[in-house]
Amino acid sequence: DPKIIQKPKYLVAVTGSEKILICEQYLGHNAMYWYRQSAKKPLEFMFSYSYQKLMDNQTASSRFQPQSSKKNHLDLQITALKPDDSATYFCASSQETGYSGNTLYFGEGSRLIVV
């Protein structure tokens, strides 16, 4: 059974619209992350959260907003979508941040195409 569930697996969005990517983890971890992978770039860090608090943010644009309603949830809201936002968005978790943050468990990703 998948321990990190991401929804939806695939979605197509229109430029200028808004989407929310869902992530739930059932590993009992306290730290969660978002990474992005596009065809042109390496896997790219976006956000890290620990106990529902933002720890690190490497995303320049405020169009990307993480939302954590529960400790095991970290959704990603993306507004004013652009074609360059097309990528696979991976949610990940680790037991804690800090040293154990190096061992990440990834979900299967949400593949977003913006047209």
Partner 1 sequence: GQGVEQPDNLMSVEGTFARVNCTYSTSGFNGLSWYQQREGHAPVFLSYVVLDGLKDSGHFSTFLSRSNGYSYLLLTELQIKDSASYLCAVSWPNYNVLYFGSGTKLTVEP
Q: Which positions lie near partner 1, rule CB under 8 A?
A: 31, 33, 41-45, 48, 50, 55-56, 58, 90, 97-109
Closest CA to 47 of 74, 20, 72, 69: 74
**In the 3-class helix/strand/coil scheme, how is 25-83 assigned residue by residue?**
ECCCCCEEEEEEECCCCCCEEEEEEECCEEEEECCCCCCEEEECCCCCECEEEECCCCH
Least Å distance, CB 15 to partner 1, is 25
Taking the complex as a whole, how short is the minimal distance between the CB of residue 24 and partner 1, in angstroms? 15
Nearer to partner 1, 6 or 72 (CB): 6
For partner 1, the closer of residues 3 and 15 by Cβ is 3
Please, what is the minimum distance in Å from the beta carbon of residue 5 to partner 1?
12
CB-wise, 33 or 64, nearer to partner 1?
A: 33
Regarding beta strands 105-106 and 44-50, do their DSSP bridges make them parallel or antiparallel, or are they unpaired? unpaired
β-partners of residue 107 are none
Q: Between 57 and 79, whose beta carbon lies closer to partner 1?
A: 57
Structure tokens at 38: 């596009």
Q: Write down the least CB distance from residue 43 to partner 1, Å.
A: 4
Residue count of the chain: 115
